[in-house]
Structure formats: structure tokens, C-alpha cells
Chain A
Amino acid sequence: MGALRDLFKDYRFAVGFFLLSFLFFLVIASFFSPYDPIQWLQVPRDKPPSWNHILGTNSKGQDVFWEATFAIRNSLIIALIAGLISRIIAILVGFIAGYKGGFTDRVLMGITDGLLVIPLFLILVLVAMLLREALTLVNTGLLLAFFGWAWDARTIRSQVLSLREREFTFTSVLSGNSTLSLVGKEYLPLTIPLIFSTLINNIAWAIGMEIVLAILGLVRLEIPTLGTTLQWAINYQAMLLGHWWWILTPVVLTILLLVALYWFSVSISEYLDPRIRIQRIGVK
């Protein structure tokens, strides 16, 4: 595949790709975990990393490595739900506001700017405080999705606004295309890279937000995610007691995951950038 060969020339893609496949391997491993994710006291507690417990064990009596595999899986589930659903809202708002223009544009953008300016984090916390027990994986994802679309709706709208003025929009309308097929055939190929990179940024944001919600104790703490593992580690004073392996695992894994996602998305969106794709077509 020519594309892959080109992509690997970019060191960021190579690093991002390998990190992601390593983490993906961990997610797969979580299905073969010998330990139950929620049960306590399955292993001797507070053991430093050793051969049979690669990353040691924590004060809850669970193996840190296998807990971590569950944590990544659950965090990714939440983040993917949040990312995908917020994309749908962002694309809808962005395309309608961008294409319709006039009054609808002014209203939609008024709401979006309002949402941007208000510190959403606090309202999110307020809502989570009330939902508290109901915040299972899916619900947290939905909650984050509802608060995570405003920023990207704005960027998508500005790109649609510029596309609307381009002459091929009129050619497409004159060719009898309905608004829907116009958006699908003409605008999507040009906005895919933007939507893709905003998806990755939103996933990173969602993972960060989930951690903070967990620290505030607003999610179901028994389900292992990157946030809840960190929350337990802090609650049991892992830093003070020197259980560095327990607290560093979620921190390092989160950094690896987010750096990988970011590098992967930056290199992909540069590769998909319409200007460069056009040059590639020209050179065939």
C-alpha cells in the first residue's frame, strides 16, 4: 500500500503507530486476564514488581498490570463513545450552521460560543454530582459527548463556510445534486482530515476529563479505568508509602496513550490535508 509506505516516512506516525499497537495489545490481553477486574484481595498486597507480578500489586490486593489492561480498555470505551457521539453533534451543528448561514448560523453559533465561554467543566461536575451512581462507562461517555462538541462545531463550521463560496459548490448544485448529496460528495472528502483530527483531540480530552471525574469520586469507582486506578492510588497514599509502581502505572500509561493518539492524528491529518493530496494526484 503506497500510502503506508509514505506515512512511515514520518517519524511521528511510526512512533504513534507502534505505541498504539502496544496499547491495543494490552487491551486484547485484558480479555485473558487471570484475575477478576473488580474483586479485592486476589493477590498478596503491596508487593513491588516481581516476576509473577510484573508491575507489582496494590493495596486493594489486585495485580497492577492486569488492572491496568482493564483500565485502558474501559477508558478507551468511554473516550470512543464520547468522541464519536460528539463528532455527530459537531458535524450536524457545523454543517447546518455553515451551509444554511443567516439566522440559523447566528443562533447555532451563539449557543456554541456560549458553551465555549462558560467553564463547561464545572457544569459537567455539577451534573455528574447528581448522576453519581448512574455514571457507568456508557453514561460517562454520553455525558462527556454532550459537553465535548462545541469547540469542534466551530472549526467545522468555518471550513464549511469557506467551501460554500467555492465555485464547485455551484457546479454541483447546477448538476442537480440535493444539499445532502452535495455535502456528502463534495464537502466530506475535504473535511475528513479535520473531522479525524478533532476526533482524536476529543478522545484525548475525554480521557483527561474521565480522570478528573474519577478523582472527584463522581464515577462508579469499582469499575477500573485510568481515572479510578489513579483515584485509589491517591486515596491509599501510594506516593507517601512509596508504592511508586501503583501510582506511576496509570500516569505513564495515560501519557503513552495520549502522546500516541496525538502523534498519530497529527501525521495522519497532514497526510490527508487536501492541498497535499491534490499534489499527489497531480504527480501520478
Chain B
Amino acid sequence: MNGLIKVEQLQAFYVLEAMGKKKTVKAVNNVSLNIPENEIYGVAGESGCGKTTLLKALFASIEPPLQLFEGKVSYRINGKFINAFTLNDQEKRELRWTYISYIPQGSMSVFNPVKKLKVTYLDFLESHVRGKAGQDLLSLARHHLEKLGLSPQVLEAFPHQLSGGMRQRVAIALSTLLKPQIILADEPTTALDVVAQRAVLQLMRDIQQEYKNTFVLVTHDMGIHANISTRMAIMYAGKIVEEGPTPEIFSQPLHPYTQFLIHSLPRIGDKTTRKSVPGAPPSLINPPPGCPFHPRCPEVTNLCKDKMPALNNSSEIHRVACWLRRESSGCHS
């Protein structure tokens, strides 16, 4: 199972300049991972853990104040891995929507408010497809929508005439219009109600099964990951602390933070008291030494306080970055 995107020792920090003081926010701190093919790859973590920055790096759109300090993100394009940061703007623009595309979080204001959706679709198509008349492009869009179970009539509407759920489905249809191999989704359903969210997740699952492409789904909601992601990475303070197939992550969470994330969620029918993670989220400006979770970890040791555990294999498909979990792989906590 070869990967589609390889990320090696990626370090992307925000350099903020305010009142003469320079602050660097270590949003993505030495991350290495492999985004597989034909998979829904979930990235879980809370606000401020760097998951959105990781998405920007995957999308190779690094603009100030975000700066790349180290590491590579390579796309596999017809068999060869190319470092995305070495591409010039024109090459990047061509890859957008044809190789890699993006689903925004709130679709409230993501479409041009004064144009019909048909025009927005044509803008995207005309910028990427050459030598085709407007009409053909339009029928291509209509066909694509029908295939996803959406009525092409929606193209004649203005964005403000659709409900939140419908707009998000139109955004997903747009992002999969040119059959890209990778689709990055940043909290695609957070702004939606639970019923609309279910419909949107269902649409994403159908698309993935239909086109065999890869979704990188970023959300803090573990329920969504359990529901749709096939493989998952948990991020904390700009680092990956655990990675593996979703069933294994939920049945055998190894990292203490993952255990908290899963066990702190209330479930209907089970009133056992739920404990949340003690302490406060870490500051990314001067992250704690050693393992970033140690100030909040109930099983903290001196080793955790001074050395950063590497992310290595507890089993060949399930990796964790924690000193206590390394040797005793497969132990149930």
C-alpha cells in the first residue's frame, strides 16, 4: 500500500511580529507521515494543535506569516515523488483541483454571493480545463452532480438561497469535480446540524468508494472519525502522538491523550462520570520540554519530562509516541 503524499520531518511555524517582539508559533513541529491511497485518512486534535497548519502544508500553500523551516511534502505524481515546495506558482495552480483539492469549513460565505453557482463552477472549470466550450463544461458539471445524487437545478440558484447542509454538499461536489486524487477537508461538518452532518458524511463516503481517491479529514470530533475515517492520526501541540487504523485506535488507544479523547465523550445510555484532560492546552510559542503532554499526563515519568519520544511502531500498522507504550506493545490499559 504505497502512499500518495509523503511528509518528512516537516517544521512549519508562524513568525508573528508585533510591537517589535518576534514570536514563533511552532504549529507543525517535526511531523512525518504517509497519506495512503484509496483511504479516508483522519487527523484528530483540538483547536490549536496544528491540524489546520498541517493541511496548509499538505496543500503546499505556505504564505507569510506561516514559514517552512524544515522538511518536505512530496506528491506522488505518475509514480514519481516530487517535493511540493519546489513547484512554482504556475505548476501549483495546475495541480489544484486536478490532483489535490480542498473542502472549506463553513460554507456560509465560500461561494461568490452575487453570482449563480453555475458561474462559480465554470470559473473553476475554465481555469483548469482547456479547449472546451462553456456548454460542455456545464453539462460535465450537471452530470457530476447527478452522479452524487444532487439535483443539477442547484446550479441555477444563488448561494444565499440554499441551506447550510446543501451548500456544503455543493462545495464537496465542486472539490471532486475534476476527479482529484486527494481531497483535504478542514472540519467540513462542524458548522452543520447533526442530521445535515450525517448526509454530508454519507456523501463523502459514497464519493470515496466510487472514485477510490483519498480524503484527508481534519476534525476534533472523534465520533466522526469512528464513523467514517479508515485510518487516523492524533495530533497534540504540533506533533503526531499516535497513528493507526481507526478500529485499533478505538479498541486499543495507546497514548494517554488518545485515551482521554475517547473516554471523555458521553454516550446516550451510559451515565458513567466522564473525566476531561486535566490542566490547560499547551502554548505553541514555548512548548513544554520533552513530551509536550507530560504536564497533563497522569502517568508522567522523569524520562517524559526531558526527552521527546519518537513516533515508532508499536506494531507495524499502529504507531505511538510515548515512552511508556513503546516496549509493551499490544498491552491493554
Listed in ascending order, the chain A residues whose CB lies under 8 Å from chain B are 2, 6, 279-280, 282-283
Contact = CB atoms under 8 A, between A and B. Distances in A.
Interface stretch (B16-24, B106-114, B267-275): B16-24
Interface of B: 18-19, 21, 23
Contacts of B19: 2, 6, 280, 283
A2 B23 CA distance: 19
Contacts of A2: 19
Given A2-B19, A283-B23, 8 more contacts: A6-B19, A279-B18, A280-B18, A280-B19, A282-B18, A283-B18, A283-B19, A283-B21
B329 to A, nearest CB: 43
A243 to B, nearest CB: 52
10 contacts: A2-B19, A6-B19, A279-B18, A280-B18, A280-B19, A282-B18, A283-B18, A283-B19, A283-B21, A283-B23
A6 B17 CA distance: 13
Nearest to B17: A283
A270 to B, nearest CB: 15
A111 B21 CA distance: 49
A279 B17 CA distance: 11
A10 to B, nearest CB: 14
Contacts of A6: 19
Contacts of A283: 18-19, 21, 23
Contacts of A282: 18
A279 B18 CA distance: 8
B236 to A, nearest CB: 23
Nearest to B19: A283
A102 to B, nearest CB: 25
Q: Which of B19, B21, B23 has the most CB of A within 10 A?
A: B19
Nearest to A5: B20
A283 B19 CA distance: 7
A2 B19 CA distance: 9
A280 B19 CA distance: 7
A147 to B, nearest CB: 36
Contacts of B23: 283
Nearest to A276: B18
A280 B21 CA distance: 11
A16 to B, nearest CB: 22
A282 to B, nearest CB: 8
B209 to A, nearest CB: 43
A268 B21 CA distance: 22
A32 to B, nearest CB: 42
A184 B217 CA distance: 46
A282 B19 CA distance: 10
A113 B66 CA distance: 45
